[in-house]
Chains A and B, each alone.
Chain A
Amino acid sequence: MVGAAGGSSALLKTSLALGLMPDEPYTGPVKVKPAAKGQNPTALILGAGLAGLSTALELERAGYDCTILEASFRPGGRNLTVRNGDKIDEMGNPQICQFDKQENMYFNCGPARIPGHHRRLLHYCKTLHVPLQIKANSSKMAYFQDDKSLGGKPKRIVEYHTDARGLMSELLWKSADSNQFDQLLSKEDVAKLKKFSKTYGDLTENGKYIGSDRGGSTTDRMLDYPSPRAPIELKAMLDSSFWYGGLLGSETYDWAEPLMEPTGGMDNVIKAFLRNLKRQPVLNAQVKKIFNRGSGVEVTYEHSGKFHTVKADYCFNNIPAHFMAGIENNFSDNYQSGLNAIKRGHLFKIAFQMKERFWEKDGIYGGISYSKDAIGQIWYPSHDIHAQKGILLGAYTWNEKATKMFEALSQEERLKAGALSGEKIHPGYSKYIENGITIPWSRMNHQMGCGLRMSHDNFEKYYHVLQKPEGRHFMIGDQISHHTGWQEGALASSEQALQQLNKMLAANFNIGEPNYVS
């Protein structure tokens, strides 16, 4: 552990020296080389998801005439916020959202949180005037529950966290005490390490963990001395899965607090782009053919029972890659193989309208409870604290086994499974449920997947192929990033593609003439 700590500080120094740390100020999206006077370059954008819309916006700013084709009845792709009356277009299970018709009753079915280092997205939120608010991604008052641990009883994360730290610190103290670090540390260092473990885990003077009031008290702390609960036994801690749910749930970089969300729903990001675009997307336009021609890209789509063929100087394609084999094209075998290598990801969410914000009575304001059941997580809304009702996220999982299980269930069965798992954390949970929706992303019309991914080998083989244009056709979307399932990944892919376009333009060829960059 100590060796690793030394290693990481060495790594930090190296990273800083190499300029790998994100300490450079972000200067905003790529500026596409403006069209020359008298020229009216054109672009076809396939898919009105975030990558498509941001690409269109930057191209329009440079004087391009953009046509956005969207297969669905709505723009936004997986950035989907539903409210009363909205359609959830699941294949074979279309749902209409029955939430109360109120401003605060909405659910972000796709992306739902923005960390402070997603600078591309935050830049657009700022410049396109999308108001943000803090979204609590963790609540120490929320629970962790596992049927197989602690008798299946829900445990407050704060208690769990405190005990886990205490028990691990005690082990650290013991190793320091028994001269385990002779080779690495001086006597003085060992003393410091013991002091650290004592402070970190709230140990006694002789290095024992006997519980801590950091995890709350069995008495009223305002009127009495605090009295900690008896701690979890070390064996019970090891038998549980504390390294994920209770402990590390909000420890990854993308979940580094504080997170943000647009006030009123994530789709405000989409609405902001639409407000700023000169031409709105053509909806219900399903692409059937994409052909690279010498001087541009030709796309055939179907709209209201008619074929339309359109041509433009460039095409930016945001269509999920797994659909491309079903669309006629003249891509090279290697390019098409790369597209085929991107696999559908599975991700599933449930949202319940709760007639009462019962969790707030239990001290939970925002944040997440973790369940070892298939539901994975329960999210408590950070907005509209103390309102009467609230929309609770009742399941969030990308575990393939769990998502496939949910996908195969009927709507009623999914909601019932969600309610039963919720009961284990909050007894009486079901009786608060007024209605619910389910979103299996790999069954959603025109998406059929979320968290598209390639194997490590395929990344090596194809990622760079798909990052480059083939002819004048550019693939975009979070699928062409290392950050699939995040809007920042989508924006990065768009930025990357527009940089390629600038390179192409700098290579001194005239729009309308064949090009040989591929």
Chain B
Amino acid sequence: MLAKRYLSFIIFGLLAFHLNAEEVVTPVGLEYCTVCHGAQLKGNENIQAPRLSGLSDWYLERQLLNFKTRVRGDHPDNLTGGEMMLMAKNLTAQEIKDIVKWVTSTDSPKPLATIEGDIKAGEALYQTCSACHGPNATGNKMLGAPNLSGLNDWYIFNQLNHFRLGMRGTHKADTYGQQMRAVSGVITSEKDAANVAAYIHQLK
């Protein structure tokens, strides 16, 4: 009786029409990642865990390495960075490769807007950013500038503030972070950060 019931569950599972073929399972041992970053790594603002699907492999690998080696996240006020640092602490090079492979295979809906900003003002500020991140914010591998399109606006907002306040991009081994901190000097307030985040969010 019970077995029959289970069987019907399983059959239902196989036939479920909404189960998107592109959805990938979480590799065993990496369930930790989805606890915070959500199903298909769609992101979860409540945990301050950004959407990861849509990020490039080279960027993901660099950041995981930075977290692992305390190049990123090691600032007393950066609590979420500190949390991520702990998660990456014991990853081996192979594990990082496996994670990156999985993350880049996930797909999730683009996040909804959560920040209201002055898009015109954001556009003006973004001109500086566009040199590296591109006019559509899709990033530039040659320059080491990540794709920003599809990131959560609240995450962009937070990171811009982290750069501005010296909570990110101050470690001497964080070459790209330091670069970013230097050029993001045009963003001088929370308001600026919100405007830029809102502008990037509405780019297609």
Contacts and interface: CB of A to CB of B under 8 A. Distances in A.
B86 A326 contact: no
Given A288-B39, A326-B49, A328-B39, A308 B10 contact: yes
Interface stretch (A6-14, A414-422, A440-448): A440-448
A326 B25 contact: no
Contacts of B9: 67, 308-311
A296 B37 CA distance: 27
A93 B12 contact: no
Given A323-B46, A443-B83, A309 B19 contact: yes
Contacts of B45: 325, 340
Interface residues of A, number: 41
B47 interface: yes
A455 B190 CA distance: 24
A138 B101 CA distance: 54
A326 B44 contact: yes
Interface stretch (A196-204, A243-251, A299-307): A299-307
Contacts of B86: 91-93, 443
Interface in B130-153: none
Contacts of B34: 286, 288, 302, 326
Nearest to B76: A408
Contact of A448 (B16, B37, B47): B47
Given A92-B83, A326-B43, A326-B44, A305 B13 contact: no
A289 B79 CA distance: 29
Nearest to A89: B32
30 contacts: A71-B31, A91-B87, A284-B31, A286-B34, A288-B39, A300-B13, A300-B19, A305-B26, A307-B19, A310-B12, A311-B9, A311-B12, A322-B44, A322-B47, A323-B44, A323-B46, A324-B46, A326-B44, A327-B38, A328-B39, A340-B45, A343-B46, A344-B46, A344-B47, A404-B79, A407-B83, A408-B79, A443-B83, A445-B32, A448-B47
Interface of A: 65, 67, 71, 91-93, 279, 284, 286, 288-289, 291, 298, 300, 302, 304-311, 321-328, 340, 343-344, 404, 407-408, 443, 445-446, 448
Given A91-B83, A300-B16, A325-B44, 14 more contacts: A71-B31, A91-B36, A289-B39, A300-B13, A302-B26, A305-B25, A307-B23, A311-B9, A323-B44, A326-B42, A326-B47, A404-B79, A408-B82, A448-B47
